[in-house]
Amino acid sequence: MTSKEKNMEHESSRGADADESIENGLRPKENASAHTEESKEFGLMLDEIRYPWPHRKPNFVRFSRMNRIMHTVVMISFLGLVLTGLPLKFSEKELVARIAQYLPVRGFGLIHRVCALVTFGYFFTHLGHLFWRIVTGRGRGMFWGPDSMVPQPRDLINIYEQFRWYFFKGPKPKFGRWTYWEKFDYWAVFWGVTVIGLSGLVLWFPSFFARWFPGWIFNLAAIIHSEEALLAMGFIFTIHFFNTHLRPNKFPIDLVIFSGKMSEEYFREEHPLEYEKVMRSGDVERHLAPEPTPDILSIYKFIGYSAFLLGIGTVLLIAASFFSS
């Protein structure tokens, strides 16, 4: 047998193994050596020599370290803006006036501006990262394709299929790396930072902008800044929280955005098209990492639950303020 024929046979067998893995999940081969008994329980083919974490289950990597840091910064700055901005918006409400007696409201303006600077910081950092990917040739598939955040015709089909599934008219749609609501969340940040950020700058530096714009611009900026911020807050603390944490298969909290890792079951359930793509790639090991330790998970849970409770509590306080005299 020639070397070319051997290579063809090897490629054929590897493709067959990948197809079998998709059908059965990642399972240890019967003739594979150096497998731990622990690895056989959860289905991933491990080698103690290649994977130096025999007591920790392998997870698939979903988010990079930069993605996780960026989300944490977005989360903290957004909560800071909301918690320091809403008391001003609802300052005429009796409930807010009562609560304000126990809060350092005089420092809210400074905190609000610091969080605004952080918001502009992560926004332009992200744009710079996208530009760097394009310049260095690492942006392939960034503007179109299964790994792109750009809305595509497939997303409209998924929306249609999703509503059919809601009413028991069809099967659950299969998603790739990004769902349509994740793309909406992503682009909503661009809209929010642009509209709320620009109107906030006008209110922050009125003397400067008064040189170029008439007085009614400041009234318009105050309305836009206030209402758009309320809309963003309402969306994040209700729709986003539901899609991310409150769905039956996610409740009570989804820690993937904090750990950056997901189990095989999670991967196969939430992103089946990408799961099949990875399994067929023949390079599954490159997508694996050890699961977070219990101590690290406890930290992630504390951060996640704290942000979640602050958001839900804010929504409840706003609702209560509408009914207060």
* Contact criterion met (CB below 8 Å) for 137 and 117: no
Higher pLDDT, 181 or 39: 181
pLDDT band at 14; cut points 50, 70, 90: very low
Kindly state the tokens that stand for 321.
Answer: 């303020």
CA trace torsion 119, 227, 109, 237 (10° rounding): -60
The letter for the amino acid at 86 is L
In order, the DSSP letters of 117-180 are HHHHHHHHHHHHHHHHHHHTT--TTSSSSTT--S--HHHHHHHHHHHHHHTTSSPPPP--SS-H
Over residues 205-230, mean pLDDT: 93
DSSP for residue 56: S
The verdict on residue 33 lying in a domain is no
> Three-state SS for 188?
helix
Average pLDDT of the chain, as a whole number: 82
Q: What is the CATH number of the domain that holds 65?
A: 1.20.950
Q: How many domains does the structure of the chain reveal? A: 1
* Contact criterion met (CB below 8 Å) for 117 and 154: no
- Whether 132 has a pLDDT exceeding 70, the answer reads yes
The verdict on residue 124 lying in a domain is yes
Over residues 277-289, mean pLDDT: 84
The verdict on residue 146 lying in a domain is no
* Residue matched to tokens 């997870």: 59
pLDDT by residue (tens digit) across 287-304?
888 888 889 999 999 999
Of the given ranges (72-86, 194-208, 209-223, 281-295), which has the lowest mean pLDDT?
A: 281-295
- Whether 159 has a pLDDT exceeding 50, the answer reads yes
Q: Give the structural domain span for 205.
A: 59-140+179-259+293-323
C-alpha Rg value of the chain to the nearest Å: 25
* Contact criterion met (CB below 8 Å) for 256 and 62: yes
The verdict on residue 44 lying in a domain is no
The pLDDT of residue 42 is: 40
Higher pLDDT, 2 or 251: 251
Over residues 10-20, mean pLDDT: 45
The pLDDT of residue 8 is: 47
Collect contacts of 60-63 with beta carbons under 8 A, ≥24 apart.
Answer: 60/261, 60/262, 60/263, 60/264, 60/267, 60/278, 60/287, 60/288, 60/289, 61/260, 61/261, 61/287, 61/288, 61/289, 62/256, 62/260, 62/261, 62/262, 62/267, 63/256, 63/257, 63/260
Kindly state the tokens that stand for 122.
Answer: 């992560």
The pLDDT of residue 143 is: 86
Exposure of 86 in the CB half-sphere (CA atoms within 13 A):
26
Percent of the chain whose predicted confidence (pLDDT) is above 90? 43
The verdict on residue 212 lying in a domain is yes
The verdict on residue 150 lying in a domain is no
Over residues 181-192, mean pLDDT: 92
Kindly state the tokens that stand for 273.
Answer: 């098209």
The verdict on residue 6 lying in a domain is no
- Phi, psi dihedral angles at 22 (to 5 degrees): -65, -40
pLDDT by residue (tens digit) across 227-245?
999 999 989 998 999 888 8
Of the given ranges (48-57, 274-283, 290-299), which has the lowest mean pLDDT?
A: 48-57
Give the strand pairing for 261-262 and 288-290: unpaired
Higher pLDDT, 115 or 289: 115
Separation between Cα atoms, residue 228 and residue 196, nearest integer Å: 6
